[in-house]
Chains A and B, each alone.
Chain A
């Protein structure tokens, strides 16, 4: 894990330059009529993107990526809103599958256990599916069949380590911090927490973790828990790590209200636009010291495009190496020093540009999120 991390850091500069170059080329490519391989009739297919809800910015970005792929490939898109419920998710997906067209599907699962029934249903509908973020570890695409094209995610441990390094470095390796995990039983939160704790334990003996308060990915709960922690520990808290930017936004508001924002450092995951803004403005005396970069539209675009390649016969999943069936995509560590490289990915049209490059380079080699390893993710020994 450690070595992987070091490579990712070194590759930063090169990747950014390459990305910028490809981005300028991309926009023209997308305008042209897409050339499907012989024998693939796009009218027989429907693209489906299933998201957990339609209120979270990350999910909205998922939808944006799916729309960009749909536009580029000229295949009709259906969005499934799971309303935070596995039940709703599965029944909505089944309803779309019943429509008769073969699905090319991207699913951001509500819970790990949703993956098997969804994959099974897609198989019966003679479609193809890629799943992002959550599935049971033992449920492997390689063992299921070609219709389960791939399981893909960004490494959570990596995210936790990024945040830990940035926070601990900013504190000079000394001081007490609190953690705000997401939903307690979510794999994503658990891997990020494990990464954070492992990095601190291995490399920063001077950092003390005071407490962990799961805040359910909810900004308001993040704020409330932060308030309670302020009362409990006062100015003893020198740093705050949150498992995503939503909770960090809440926590920062709580520390600001308490007049402590400029005495505390924050790190988190996701580099939300609001977070980017705070980094740029140097809010709270440059309170935000570390972030990770990935975008929802990149996840859905990679997922849908991989699936499309399988559906159109351009790849045969069973012949792919393991890391392309169960994949970890790169997660970049962002600091106040290098954030500028990532501004381009939030420009208007960035999703379309990303899809254009994706089509050009294939699903595993597109910057800034190329394939970096094979899953499942191994939690560090603690």
Chain B
């Protein structure tokens, strides 16, 4: 574990520095930024993208991409809330609601993986398809009825309730992250993902079960998107087919900023997590600093570019090719 930590930290030193600089600046601009309350707030807000980014990182490390995140979140979130105590009807399957909703995510991920690996369709196209399949399922489940909201106080409050000083949402994300790090570093699957991302031809030539690894990665990503959909639904207290809105363009930039090359083979779960925190902290800090809404998008983009330059600085070189 020691060596893995040091190996993972060595790369994103620029990223860590960027985050620290942002924290210092925002704390000066508004002392409340550094408060325990805001820490809890940031962790709460980061938990959904953190869960999604673990799966997304595995897929991107493999040199593929999963665009289906928002659709899968919508389908799983909607399935879960309709099977949990809600204002639509009295159906309450308890834990089975989780199983079925995550199973739905698993199924969609499996579909992406199978079509991608077996029919050799680019993942970009396949997952664009599963995105809309997922959204379609969510819309069908939603129907024309009223917005389903959670009637169980316990479920609705669970994500924000604190355990050991941190919100439960974050603990859920932390468990997923830990699992992701372990899978990535200690299982044949995780190492296989890196090998396939580095050179698929060699991996096949060396007798690795490349197709199985690909299918597994998409399936894991689907499950995690499903779980994220449930958590987002719980956080909002209501179901919506759009529950995943905006997650895709949080998670993919987060992974890439952190050095997970879209070409595959590089980066890691731990790094992507730093990427998510960079984006969430940046957004949160700008609100707390009171940046005028008219300027917020522009300022967000400008700071992001500076941060990315800082991240990429150590690896620049005359003949390095950026794509």
Contacts and interface: CB of A to CB of B under 8 A. Distances in A.
- Do A and B share a direct contact in the complex (Cβ within 8 angstroms)? yes
Nearest to B142: A55
Name the residue among A54, A223, A232, A256 with the largest chain B CB count within 10 angstroms.
Answer: A232
Interface residues of B, number: 41
The secondary structure that dominates the A interface is helix
A212 B147 contact: no
Given A231-B38, A232-B32, A219 B240 contact: yes
Contacts, number: 97
Interface string B19-57: 000000000001011010110010011000000000000
Contact of B146 (A212, A219, A250, A273): A273
Interface stretch (B120-128, B200-208, B218-226, B242-250): B242-250
Nearest to B290: A211
Given A184-B294, A220-B232, A228 B41 contact: yes
B170 to A, nearest CB: 13
Given A184-B294, A273-B147, A274-B147, A228 B284 contact: yes
B291 to A, nearest CB: 10
A249 interface: yes
Interface in B234-286: 235-238, 240-243, 245-246, 283-284
B281 to A, nearest CB: 11
A257 B157 contact: yes
B193 interface: no
Contacts of A228: 41, 283-284, 287-288
B286 to A, nearest CB: 9
A184 B159 CA distance: 30
A351 B240 CA distance: 22
B87 A218 contact: no
A250 B294 CA distance: 22
- The 10 A-B pairs with the shortest beta carbon distances in the complex, nearest first, are A257-B160, A228-B287, A273-B146, A55-B241, A231-B38, A274-B147, A253-B237, A55-B242, A232-B288, A227-B41
Interface of A: 53-57, 60, 63-64, 181, 184, 211-214, 218-221, 223-225, 227-232, 234, 249-250, 253, 256-258, 272-274, 277, 346
Given A220-B236, A228-B284, 5 more contacts: A181-B293, A220-B246, A229-B287, A256-B156, A257-B160
27 contacts: A53-B242, A55-B74, A55-B135, A55-B240, A55-B242, A57-B147, A60-B144, A184-B294, A218-B242, A218-B245, A219-B238, A219-B240, A220-B235, A223-B236, A227-B45, A231-B32, A231-B37, A231-B41, A232-B287, A232-B290, A234-B32, A249-B238, A256-B156, A257-B44, A257-B159, A274-B87, A277-B149
